[in-house]
Structure 1
Amino acid sequence: MERVSGVNNWKLVIRREAAGVAILWAATCDAEAALPDELFGLPVTALGDHALTPGRPMPEGEEVLVTCGPVNEEDWDNGALTDLTLPDSLERVEDYGFFNCRTLKTLRLRDTVRYWGGGALMNCRALDTFHITCTGEEGELLAYLAEELPRELDVTLTRADGQTARLIFPEYVEVYEENCPAHHFDYNISGAGYGYHHCFYRKQLSFKAYDELWRPMLGMEHDEDCALRLAWWRLRYPVELTEQAENDYLDFLRQRPLAAGRWLLGRRDTEGLQFLLRTLDWDRDDLTALCGEAREQDSPEALAMLLEEQHRRFPSGLDKSFDL
């Protein structure tokens, strides 16, 4: 087995091809890991069938050990892998490439991964977060992910010009129910997310179509927490956000400032909290409640910010009391 240095620990079985290297099998003992961009001077361009399936026996091929230090031999099974970065040069993922990666939650990749084999993400039950580096054709990749995974998705797009968009795709569920008297199955969709997962034209994301789904979603049964996150991230990263959509999202948050503030406190997102404080109108009771929660969470930076905002909006000198 050849040994090379890397930023993470991997055992690999590879095949050298004319265009680069195909990884036929990969196992890591790390929870957060990045596959190497190149091996032996060749770019990594493909993941083979069942390449990262946990517990799969090592196939025949050229074996490579990528290591950054000592490791425990018993832990090479991808069983703890939660955050994976794919090579920038990767172009294809073959059938069942990530099959049964049940702990994988976050995938980081470029939109140049153009081919996904059948069942590539099957049984990736925790996978809901994507960080996509865009080269101008991000719609094709995102359309595939949104259609393949009906659960709630949290997607961050970083464009070549430096713009960042963060989008929430609400969950939906497709159900086939047996209709015995009619001898057929009825197809039903529940959840507000179906339109969001299909707001693509020619495999390209339409921000306009995405934002136009907001009002219809609020008119049906939906997850309030999910809606709050969706509105927040569109305002926080307003790529191609129209004035009408901005007002719609702001109206939603204006009715829920305390819920939004609590969520940001829980995330320890002081920068986001500062943005929220200057964006919304606040009453004294909500600011007082958030100050109390910041104290309980031992978040001095957020507490200082909230106290400053409270003093700015409601100077204590205006409320005088006298004890006789």
Structure 2
Amino acid sequence: MYAIMWVLSSFCFVVEGGHGLNSSLGILWQACPGGARILRVFGDSPCPALPVQIEGFPVVEIGPYCFAQNQRSQPADARFWSVDGRGPAAYPHPIAGDFVQGVTLPAGVRALHNAAFYNCRKLEWLCAGSALESVGSDLFTNCRALDRFILDAAPDAPTGLKKLVAAVSADIGAVFSPGGAVQAKVFYPEYFEFLDENTPAHIFNHSIEGEGYRYRQCFDGSVLRFAEYDAAFPQACVGESEKKLCRIALDRLCTPFALLPEAQGIYSAYLAAHAASAAAPLIARHDTESLQLVLKLADEESRRQIALACSQSGWSEGAALTLGGQRPRRQKTYDFDDL
């Protein structure tokens, strides 16, 4: 059940010409260079899929504070449009603030302006296409529930992922899911930046703590370099937590896009040595597929620990899977000389 809910909440789709899952959306918008800029969204869905075009204008920008709770004054040229043709009175409820859980952007969106998701504390995911080129400041300020970016693009295609993960210093995942088919998953751990003042000289030293910053640099322009990303893992093992390292390794092994044999061996060895820890979040969300991968690497003692954790959580299917997949014990043999 959990897996089904995750897929539904993560599925990236596009609403073409006003048709799709969000059949009741009101949009405040204005014309901008190259198309339309969405200023405010109204409706009853916490997971809106924004339209590809409005009145013939392709949607290319999301305006400042678009989904923020506190509405800013709107420009004089702002216009209202709705999927079903009704007027503003039919859409009194803004999709904003803590009401927002996920947003699917049109594939053609090129810019996210300042604070577009400011104080959206329950925002869990954002789905974008490959056209994203520019993001503003304070884009995800106080978006504490934000867990993943979903890219409707191939893993080796240019995307706006580098700019998106640069806007979030907290833990964040990324899923490449063109057409809804997951092809690759990566995880970016948290990092911190500090400014230390040398008081006598009034010189500020910029320091960075956490391997998440290094991972966020693994791009060639706007294309993710998987080999460079994988090469950062040994250094991450020095300072990152076991939980985060397990997630990095598991995401890459479960979706091994452009995964070289050497990196595959390093990830597999780490999960084999930390199988019980790697299994903990999988048990919590009843992720059978990922658990099977961990079990293939786990030794007998780790399997016992995982089976016990499954039983304690009440997940009988996981416990049965763990015990049923145990390696057969070597049978003892006897001959008449032993009797």
TM range (shorter): 0.7 to 0.9
Distance 1:75 1:26, change over 3 A: closer
Query: Is 2:21 aligned against 1:7?
Result: yes
Query: Is 2:76 aligned against 1:62?
Result: no
**Cross-structure match for 1:93:** 112
For 2:229 and 2:126, locate their aligned partners in 1 and report how far apart those are by CA, in whole Å: 22
Structure 2 alignment gaps of length 5 or more? 1-17, 85-89, 333-339
Contact 1:139 1:200 (C-alpha < 8 Å) held by counterparts: no
Query: Is 2:168 aligned against 1:149?
Result: yes
Query: Is 2:323 aligned against 1:304?
Result: no
Q: Deviations over 1:256-308 (max 9, x none)?
A: 11112222111210111122223x1421x432332233223232322221221
Structure 1 residue 45, shift from structure 2 partner: 2.5
Question: Aligned AA for 2:128?
Answer: L
For 2:63 and 2:99, locate their aligned partners in 1 and report how far apart those are by CA, in whole Å: 21
Aligned pairs for 1:136-215 (under 5 A) are 138-158=157-177, 164-215=183-234
**Cross-structure match for 1:38:** 53
**Cross-structure match for 2:287:** 269
**Cross-structure match for 2:38:** 23
Contact 1:6 1:36 (C-alpha < 8 Å) held by counterparts: no
Contact 1:13 1:58 (C-alpha < 8 Å) held by counterparts: no
Q: Which moved more, 1:177-186 or 1:204-213?
A: 177-186
Contact 1:85 1:107 (C-alpha < 8 Å) held by counterparts: yes
**Cross-structure match for 1:321:** none
| RMSD, matched Cα | 3.0
For 2:245 and 2:321, locate their aligned partners in 1 and report how far apart those are by CA, in whole Å: 26
Structure 1 residue 159, shift from structure 2 partner: 5.0
**Cross-structure match for 2:62:** 47
Query: Is 2:257 aligned against 1:239?
Result: yes
TM-score (norm 1): 0.82
Q: Deviations over 1:185-232 (max 9, x none)?
A: 22211112221011123333211111111111213x212111110011
For 1:301 and 1:75, locate their aligned partners in 2 and report how far apart those are by CA, in whole Å: 42
Query: Is 2:267 aligned against 1:249?
Result: yes
Provide the secondary structure at the position in 2 that maps to 1:134: coil
TM-score (norm 2): 0.79
For 1:231 and 1:272, locate their aligned partners in 2 and report how far apart those are by CA, in whole Å: 11
Give 1 or 2: higher strand fraction. 1
Distance 1:163 1:25, change over 3 A: closer
Distance 1:45 1:173, change over 3 A: same
Query: Is 2:225 aligned against 1:225?
Result: no
Contact 2:113 2:136 (C-alpha < 8 Å) held by counterparts: yes
For 2:140 and 2:310, locate their aligned partners in 1 and report how far apart those are by CA, in whole Å: 39
**Cross-structure match for 2:15:** none
Distance 1:113 1:53, change over 3 A: same
Distance 1:15 1:161, change over 3 A: closer
Distance 1:200 1:120, change over 3 A: same
Provide the secondary structure at the position in 2 that maps to 1:268: coil
Q: Which moved more, 1:182-191 or 1:93-102?
A: 93-102
Contact 2:198 2:205 (C-alpha < 8 Å) held by counterparts: yes
**Cross-structure match for 1:82:** 101
For 1:65 and 1:218, locate their aligned partners in 2 and report how far apart those are by CA, in whole Å: 51
Structure 1 residue 241, shift from structure 2 partner: 0.9
Structure 1 residue 29, shift from structure 2 partner: 4.2
Contact 1:146 1:198 (C-alpha < 8 Å) held by counterparts: no
Number of positions where the alignment pairs a residue of Structure 1 with one of Structure 2: 307
Distance 1:243 1:5, change over 3 A: closer
Q: Deviations over 1:221-261 (max 9, x none)?
A: 21211111001111111111111111111111111111122
Of all paired residues, the percent bearing the same amino acid is 26
For 2:155 and 2:317, locate their aligned partners in 1 and report how far apart those are by CA, in whole Å: 38
Structure 1 alignment gaps of length 5 or more? 319-324
Q: Deviations over 1:64-98 (max 9, x none)?
A: 3457xxx9956754322121111223233234333
For 1:288 and 1:120, locate their aligned partners in 2 and report how far apart those are by CA, in whole Å: 45
